[in-house]
Structure 1
């Protein structure tokens, strides 16, 4: 007799009345838990690792599995056949349709790193999302770049490119639809607009620069579902970002279902409805146009959009569409968005809680993105419990949910930039991850930076009956940490101009030191409050010494120049740092 056990999926167990009664006995209220939608896709082993009764009392877990072992598995529900990816047919349009006859619209000139868009007015019969394949080969000199097209509704197709080289570009379309195939033309790529630096790239192994070589020092924030709110709230979020210090934001493509995220969004990515279900073969172009507009507005503010492609907090089924629909979604999203210079790809928020995906899914997803993205934007994969294997060749930077103390070790282990994308949230919600004091939020950010990483702010303050938290919906920043992080960003930017970022440097056992070797040293004391600190500086160089109060946002210079052994008197309070910089005349 086959029975239920740790590897049974909760959704399947609950379909059996007898097994469901056992689950409800040992996990009362499991179906009312705000994580229910995630739990349903997990195995009982995964669910019991998170559900309160079994997490705090192993005996409850043992009793649950023992009783379930006596329940025979119900006859299997006829499995839904796995979707097969259709191959676009060469017969999509009749042979009497003239090749290349679609009407085209495009600009004759576009600045470097802005979006060149080829608009094609073509057929709309059948399902153009799946029936039509469209790509364009772009040439500039001897170089060739292929971009993929997408259907934007009402017979309109678009292909986008972010030209990264000045001069004349030519293009030629290829498609199984006769009217869309064989169309050619040229456009001019003009010099970049003032302030445009191109997409962000990894440079000097652990750091980032824009494509034009300008230094980029990420200081992020998180607002998962801000693009799924009302127009007024989204406008308020953009204003808060404009007024704030952040130059990167983590945000979801799909809507999110979680505590403080219970309302229905204003738009959905697919044709259909929550009541009637979704057609995963037909996208809603309006949803994606809205997302594109928000990404464009972020770009105007100098903010990178770290787009989360999958996440587990889902009551609509978008996290469990099946491999074929997942691939179709990725190709569509990348084709639409890759020409935006300020896009990063985050495969998941908490990949290890997306229980509907196996380990191979992430490698497949990365391969699809790399194949479809002609601009090779950055790719990472964020964790909950288990760090992702960031040694994977396609991972450009680690995206980590952890406190910052092991940052230098992660750099050494993966030889890649470390982005501490979730270190907890300043706020007052019930859960420990979301009620850090502002002092602790700032401390973690300073620790992460001095240890050679790049940090992300978070905020979770309750807002009375409005239920609008920055972490989930954006709106207003209410905490005390963001102003202090603006001060941190200023300090980060004051490293030598030719340095790509702050590296961890040899430190004493008690407090970390980072900076630029031999030129700029930054020691952070965090919760420590020494009254004095002695530094041993290289002989033959004179240094300036400054005491930085990271909370009160002051920098106090110690008079004179210093060399050799230097003892600095400190105020004897927490959240201080000391910065030592070689005087300019001694840097030659």
Structure 2
């Protein structure tokens, strides 16, 4: 079933309040009832037909009640004398709502919303925490969320001004097809401060930095007017977030970014607060939202820890859906773990696995998410080479994060920053294509091993990386392609009965599994132990183990 934002125009001029359908709403002609599915996003649009002074500062809330809960959801101003009540529900049943507002035209308006059970097979709700598995992320329906992210900071700009989002649709469909389920992105970025590849100037259709026609405030980044917000910017952004929701891709939404030359208003100014609150009001109803206050949150050019703390508190006050909140700064998360829902890391060091492991040991009851590990896979343009650009090396660093018990993010230089190639596989043969398929294989593997039950087991690393699922009797041992021999035999002999166990290998580059055969306990196996030696990193998998 197609995701939609159903808009119901509430005519308030010269007639009693009534619902008039302008997009599909499944209302069956009942003017006082809105029908939607679980986790579907619906807009109820109230058009007043008159100007309102300082409309972004108007206080308006929809108080939604059912037999179990009450929710107070802020409306947002959408330009053209429109206020929008945007809604989604994780629970089924009848909801009744009433508008509370200082505007007499809105105050006291009522309605009903009938929420039916979700019918979209791949939709599982918002991202939440679990008491049973506090170091893992889950969907609202209890399914584990294997957080596999893709950085695309300039996604907001891809189709801006086109009248459609065809390029965005293509890119999102591609990412969905290859197994990515999150995009780390900015609400807005202006440009990069580092040198640009001269080849970008020869292909301006791939350059999205420095555009003066895109700005969330009035004016432009170079000639800013903070007196109001640019509603057209957010109307376009609605389409992007909605299409992500259709593709079941989470928006890890960084509300600020300090090092991309944005002319932000002064911290905690009226304009700053207006912008921040508006983003929270407008996008909180989307189940595919995770909040992040800022990319490089404590970057030296802006912000303080007190300011970031205030923004987090502000987020929780405005967001009636309690979406997860983090901050793209490990130092802040480490010093303020009680303020965030999961730990965000940025670590480029060669010893990445060890640092991820240290973070997991320090915060055993919180998910660990490495947003930047210094692996920025090469593209036709050298956009930001970081510490690693080779595709296999970047893939290995993603596996390091996973085998340390954390989640990870993939960067391709052709889409992560100001250079944005939305259709990489339609480019000329001599263009360097991204290795998205590596991550399809990764998803295929981890969909079979119960990652929510997996824990790193450093004592069993041997000369690889050990990840063990004791509950389901699975041991995985990640072995670099240069490695001749690593073995989980000591761990197996100590902790498990292995009479009924099986073994097989997984090729991280091709996704190939070897035949699953009975597990063979060997003292030594240097000469015949592993396939694809020198060709590909591989993972040795033992299944069917029984705990002693």
TM-score band by shorter chain is 0.7 to 0.9
**2:367 maps to which of 411, 414, 417:** 417
Equivalent residue number for residue 508 of structure 1: 461
Equivalent residue number for residue 553 of structure 1: 511
Name the SS of the counterpart of 2:225 in structure 1.
Answer: strand
1:87-102 mapped onto 2 (5 Å cutoff): none
Equivalent residue number for residue 429 of structure 2: none
Aligned length: 479
8 Å Cα contact 1:327/1:365 also seen in 2: no
Q: CA RMSD in A?
A: 2.9
**1:407 maps to which of 353, 356, 360:** 356
Equivalent residue number for residue 4 of structure 2: none
User: Is residue 169 from structure 1 mapped to residue 95 from structure 2 by the alignment?
Assistant: yes
Name the SS of the counterpart of 2:175 in structure 1.
Answer: helix
**1:257 maps to which of 156, 173, 191:** 191
Name the SS of the counterpart of 1:494 in structure 2.
Answer: coil
User: Is residue 126 from structure 1 mapped to residue 53 from structure 2 by the alignment?
Assistant: yes
Name the SS of the counterpart of 1:452 in structure 2.
Answer: coil
8 Å Cα contact 2:337/2:343 also seen in 1: no
Equivalent residue number for residue 475 of structure 1: 422
Equivalent residue number for residue 199 of structure 1: 126
Deviation at 1:120, TM superposition (A): 1.4
Equivalent residue number for residue 395 of structure 1: 340
CA–CA distance in structure 1, aligned partners of residues 102 and 184 of structure 2: 37
Consecutive unaligned residues in structure 2, runs of 5 or more: 1-11, 21-31, 197-207, 425-431
8 Å Cα contact 1:495/1:516 also seen in 2: yes
CA–CA distance in structure 1, aligned partners of residues 319 and 542 of structure 2: 43
Equivalent residue number for residue 406 of structure 2: 453
CA–CA distance in structure 1, aligned partners of residues 60 and 114 of structure 2: 22
1:137-536 mapped onto 2 (5 Å cutoff): 137-195=63-121, 196-203=123-130, 204-230=133-159, 231=162, 233-258=167-192, 259=194, 262-264=209-211, 266-274=213-221, 276-279=223-226, 281-318=227-264, 320=266, 322-353=268-299, 355-383=301-329, 386=331, 388-389=333-334, 391-403=336-348, 404-405=352-353, 406-414=355-363, 415-423=365-373, 424-427=375-378, 429=382, 432-433=385-386, 436-461=389-414, 472-477=419-424, 478-496=432-450, 500-505=452-457, 506-508=459-461, 510-517=463-470, 519-526=473-480, 528-531=482-485, 533=487, 535-536=489-490
CA–CA distance in structure 2, aligned partners of residues 534 and 121 of structure 1: 66
Residue-by-residue CA offset, 1:262-304 (whole Å, 9 max, x unaligned):
330543212223454213x422222111111111111111211
Equivalent residue number for residue 34 of structure 2: 108
Residue-by-residue CA offset, 1:345-400 (whole Å, 9 max, x unaligned):
1111111216321211111111111111111111111138x463364323111121
Sort the Cα spacing of 1:517 and 1:540 in 2 relative to 1 into closer, same or farther, 3 A: closer
Q: Which has the larger radius of gyration?
A: 1
Deviation at 1:532, TM superposition (A): 6.0
Name the SS of the counterpart of 1:420 in structure 2.
Answer: strand
CA–CA distance in structure 2, aligned partners of residues 216 and 158 of structure 1: 30
CA–CA distance in structure 1, aligned partners of residues 486 and 97 of structure 2: 66
8 Å Cα contact 2:398/2:408 also seen in 1: yes
Deviation at 1:548, TM superposition (A): 2.1
CA–CA distance in structure 2, aligned partners of residues 355 and 102 of structure 1: 50
Name the SS of the counterpart of 2:398 in structure 1.
Answer: helix
Equivalent residue number for residue 54 of structure 1: none
* More displaced stretch, 408-417 vs 362-371: 408-417
8 Å Cα contact 1:226/1:237 also seen in 2: no
Residue-by-residue CA offset, 1:555-580 (whole Å, 9 max, x unaligned):
22363244696857124435122111
* More displaced stretch, 234-243 vs 334-343: 234-243
Deviation at 1:430, TM superposition (A): 6.9
Equivalent residue number for residue 204 of structure 2: none
CA–CA distance in structure 2, aligned partners of residues 207 and 458 of structure 1: 22
CA–CA distance in structure 1, aligned partners of residues 476 and 94 of structure 2: 47
8 Å Cα contact 1:544/1:558 also seen in 2: yes
Deviation at 1:330, TM superposition (A): 1.9
Deviation at 1:431, TM superposition (A): 5.0
8 Å Cα contact 1:124/1:155 also seen in 2: yes
Deviation at 1:246, TM superposition (A): 0.7
CA–CA distance in structure 1, aligned partners of residues 108 and 41 of structure 2: 22
CA–CA distance in structure 2, aligned partners of residues 470 and 581 of structure 1: 41
CA–CA distance in structure 2, aligned partners of residues 326 and 395 of structure 1: 21
8 Å Cα contact 1:311/1:348 also seen in 2: yes
CA–CA distance in structure 2, aligned partners of residues 444 and 238 of structure 1: 24
Residue-by-residue CA offset, 1:236-278 (whole Å, 9 max, x unaligned):
4234324322111111101331055533054321222345421
8 Å Cα contact 1:529/1:576 also seen in 2: no
CA–CA distance in structure 1, aligned partners of residues 419 and 336 of structure 2: 30
Name the TM-score, length of structure 1 as normaliser.
0.75
Consecutive unaligned residues in structure 1, runs of 5 or more: 1-96, 462-467
CA–CA distance in structure 1, aligned partners of residues 262 and 388 of structure 2: 29
Sort the Cα spacing of 1:233 and 1:185 in 2 relative to 1 into closer, same or farther, 3 A: closer
Equivalent residue number for residue 73 of structure 1: none
Residue-by-residue CA offset, 1:138-180 (whole Å, 9 max, x unaligned):
1001421110011101111012222222111111111111111
